[in-house]
Amino acid sequence: MVDISVIVPVYNMEGFLRETLDSIAAATPSLEAAGRSLEVVVIDDGSRDGSLRLAREYAASHPSVRVLSQPNRGLAAARNRAIAEARGRYLFPLDADDLLGPDFLVGAAEVLDRRPEVKVVSGQNEFFGDRTGAWRLPDFSLELLARRNLICASALYRRSDWERAGGYCEQIVCYEDWDFWIAVLKDGGEVVRLPRPAIRYRIRGGSMRVRGRRFKREVVDTLNARHGDFFERVLCGPLRYHRTWSRPWNRLLRLLRFGR
């Protein structure tokens, strides 16, 4: 078993993948200096461009990189397949067009080593590409997590928590990371945000962050079906399509129905 597996799903990312893999390679010396072992598991999810060829060429000169491939099944299925074959006790998903921060993994692994109550370690991330600047997210709380995703998909967590959560939900489009963090954290656990970038997140017109806004109703229905007990406990009822109104609306309905 190695210390950290970086999981890189790829779908038609020939123009960005090498830069992403180079960012991981640039972070490797600090990990080695700290006595940490690292592997990179690249999984091509049925790309129609030259992504798979590029990944295999890169792996030929970088022994820490392994390449898997499968027919197109979506991001969640690709992550699950790669994690199932990974050897790391800590996992870090990284999209194939984003860039890893140079010293994040060293600090994040130290937190998970020292603090068993911490389940997720994230960073102060940055946007680049079509939009630049800091990616500002509020501090973690379960009530906020019930209404929106507070945690970037690229965060370090334990393999045992992936197993306990049942992996990433393969029925949700674009918001599988929100569902996953709910599954990991709904019964307890802390989230630590380090004051350094975990990633630089590339903003493009076709990126998952932009396209995800179109699927809200389907996502809300699936989250309610999978985590109804969590929403009942935290929001006093189901997650609503207008998410910020979920808790006050549910409390009003409960008051009207039961007088309390």
Tell me the two tokens of residue 4.
């950290």
CA distance 65 to 6: 9
Token readout for 121 is 């370690």
Q: Which two tokens stand for residue 16?
A: 């960005």
C-alpha distances in Å from residue 74, one per residue of 3, 67, 117, 119: 27, 17, 32, 25
pLDDT above 80: residue 241: no
The pTM of this model reads 0.89
- Domains, the chain, with CATH or none: 2-213 (3.90.550.10)
Position 210 scores a pLDDT of: 46
Q: Which two tokens stand for residue 172?
A: 């949700």
Token couple for 243: 């998410």
Amino acid identity, residue 108?
A
Q: Which of 199, 169, 195, 184 is nearest to 119 (CA)?
A: 184
Q: What is the pLDDT of residue 149?
A: 92
For position 174, what pLDDT does the model report? 81
Is pLDDT larger for residue 248 or for residue 123?
123
Model pLDDT for residues 211-221, shown as the tens digit of each residue = 445 567 888 99
Average pLDDT for residues 216-232, to the nearest whole number? 92
Q: Over the stretch 48-86, which tens digit does the pLDDT of each residue have?
A: 999 999 999 999 999 999 999 999 999 999 999 999 999
What local confidence, expressed as pLDDT, does residue 167 receive? 99
pLDDT for the residue 185: 98
Q: With H, G, I as helix, E, B as strand and everything else as coil, classify residue 202.
A: strand
DSSP letters for 141-195: -HHHHTTS--S-S--EEEHHHHHHHTS--TT-SS-HHHHHHHHHHTT--EEEEES
Residue 121 has pLDDT above 90, yes or no: yes
Q: In this predicted structure, what is the pLDDT of residue 206?
A: 55
What average pLDDT does range 86-100 have in this prediction? 98
